[in-house]
Amino acid sequence: MAESVDRDANRALRARFDEVYGEYRQLRSGLDDLQAKLAELRVTERSEDGQVTATVGARGEVITIELDQGVYRDRDAAALGRKITRTVQRAAAKAATATQDLVAGYLPPASGSMDFLRTGEFGALLRRADTAVERGLDQHG
């Protein structure tokens, strides 16, 4: 009887391993493609008045900021700073969404990594691992 239970448990464990390994192989095979797409990702946003143009990369890092000649007429440095900041923030928010969309094609939707990309909370990365560890302890402890 115990031998039958062990065989069934081993079959279930092997099936789960094969499933996880298949997901890993799929992820790994697309990783180079994903990295190339993320490296090429650029999002450009313009201020409402068109005087500031900001381009950011996949992580929201500033690639370029272009200023129209009209910004020099106003001579209000604080207002210009705020305009640049708002424009970069909008571009970075769009880049974050574009990055999530790209990565979503390579990761399971309920993965901790996708949760982290959506929320920015490191806890999302750990919750899935915590759950797996708890399951392992329950099965073996």
Residue 44 — φ and ψ, nearest 5°? Answer: -115, 135
Say whether 55 sits in a helix, a strand or coil.
strand
Encode pLDDT of 33-56 as tens digits: 888 899 999 999 999 999 999 999
Confidence of residue 11 (pLDDT cuts 50, 70, 90): confident
What does the mean pLDDT of the chain come to?
82
72 has a pLDDT exceeding 70: yes
Q: What is the mean pLDDT of residues 77-89?
A: 96
58 has a pLDDT exceeding 90: yes
* Residue 91: burial class (beta carbons within 10 Å; 0-12, 13-18, 19+): buried
Please give the DSSP secondary-structure letter assigned to residue 1: -
Cα three-residue angle 35-102-94, rounded to 5 degrees: 110
